[in-house]
Amino acid sequence: MAKHGKRTTAAREAFAGKENVTVSEAVSLVKDNAKAKFDETIEVSMVLGVDPRHADQMVRGTVTLPNGTGKTVRVAVFAKGEKAEEAKAAGADIVGAEDLMETIQGGEINFDRCIATPDMMGIVGRLGKVLGPRNLMPNPRVGTVTMDVAEAVKAAKGGQVQFKAEKAGVVHAGIGKASFDQKAIEENLLAFVDAVSKAKPAGAKGTYMRKVSLTSTMGPGVSVDIVSATGNA
């Protein structure tokens, strides 16, 4: 416990007085203080000037990070026949239809992304209460309801990240690992912020991007200068 306390204290001291720093300084601070015994995830959190309870202020989308996430993504696909074979060939971890629905209803969810062909949505729809709260429900707006299951599987495996504004207008995602080099994390951060910026909904009023923060799994967070984060510095 003492060791953990010293590490936390040292990290807090390193972050003291640091606010609205450049992307480069934020990445350096977070990376240098990610000292857990495992490879910590680098996470970005953004506070947006939207109220997602209104349909015209919902922010959601996907972005393929240039350097991947460093995470092994397990993909489940709802498909039959030829499309099921395409999904398997593309590297899907779990493929099924009614059988997969029953597995999920039984409480077994061994995947991070769920994809479905349009004809399977009648089955998938019954899983809304299970998949919805976990942000796993297939959705055509983010490309997870599609006939091109092979491309969707490859995208999910290749560093594609989904994002969706939560109740307070907060969007967050893992954008890499502490073991990534500085430049790779910076590029991923800029790509993510750019994607969220482009997803600005028609109903957003006033300041859209209010705060950008960077943290690691076990470390403190630091706020990032928005001008720097949007690549306009």
Extents of the domains making up the chain:
18-69+160-229, 75-157
**Does the domain made of 18-69+160-229 have the CATH classification 3.40.50.720?**
no
Tens digits of residue pLDDT in 163-180: 999 989 999 999 999 999
Tens digits of residue pLDDT in 70-91: 999 999 999 999 999 999 999 9
Dihedral over Cα of 150, 151, 154, 156: its sign: negative
Count of other CB atoms within 10 angstroms of residue 23:
23
pTM attached to this predicted model: 0.82
CA dist 206 and 50 (Å) reads 9
Count of other CB atoms within 10 angstroms of residue 198:
9
At the top level of CATH, the class of 75-157 is: alpha beta
Q: Check whether 4 has a pLDDT greater than 60.
A: no
The CA distances from residue 199 to 34, 58, 62, 167, 183, in Å, are 30, 9, 9, 17, 24
Q: What is the pLDDT of residue 2?
A: 39
